[in-house]
Amino acid sequence: MALRSEGVGHLCMGEVGGRSPFGFDALQANVQGMTVIQRTSAGTQGLMAAKYATQRYAGALVTAKATARAVLRHSPAQVMLVAMGEDGVLRADEDELCAIHL
């Protein structure tokens, strides 16, 4: 919320414990050209933990093509895919399927 009020992004989206936090924006179909500030219980927490990575990308099945294009645009010598699961602990099938798909 502080990032949005500082003008860093346009929308706050995501979940905490599976629920949208108070003040977060409702999902919009067209976010092209907007900066989205995202918070999730597992994925964004994992991104923040990867503090030594040169580049970090949040991927999902619905954004797989865009994620792959973004990674390939940088032509990295090495790519590590990390399935975060639920709360970064429990195995999540959709995260593993996304990693395999990417």
In the prediction, which pLDDT does 68 show?
93
In the prediction, which pLDDT does 87 show?
58
In the prediction, which pLDDT does 88 show?
55
From the list 28, 90, 94, the residue with the least C-alpha distance to 59 is: 94
Beta bridge partners of 36: 11
Q: What is the separation of C-alpha 75 from the centre of its chain, rounded to a whole number of angstroms?
A: 20
> Measured between alpha carbons, how far is residue 23 from residues 28, 59, 75, 98 in Å?
15, 24, 38, 29
pLDDT in tens, 2-35: 999 999 999 998 888 888 889 998 776 788 888 8
pLDDT in tens, 70-99: 999 999 999 888 877 765 566 778 888 888
Confidence band, pLDDT 50/70/90 cuts, at residue 65: very high
From the list 54, 49, 51, 102, the residue with the least C-alpha distance to 78 is: 54
Whether the predicted model's global pTM rises above the 0.95 cut: no
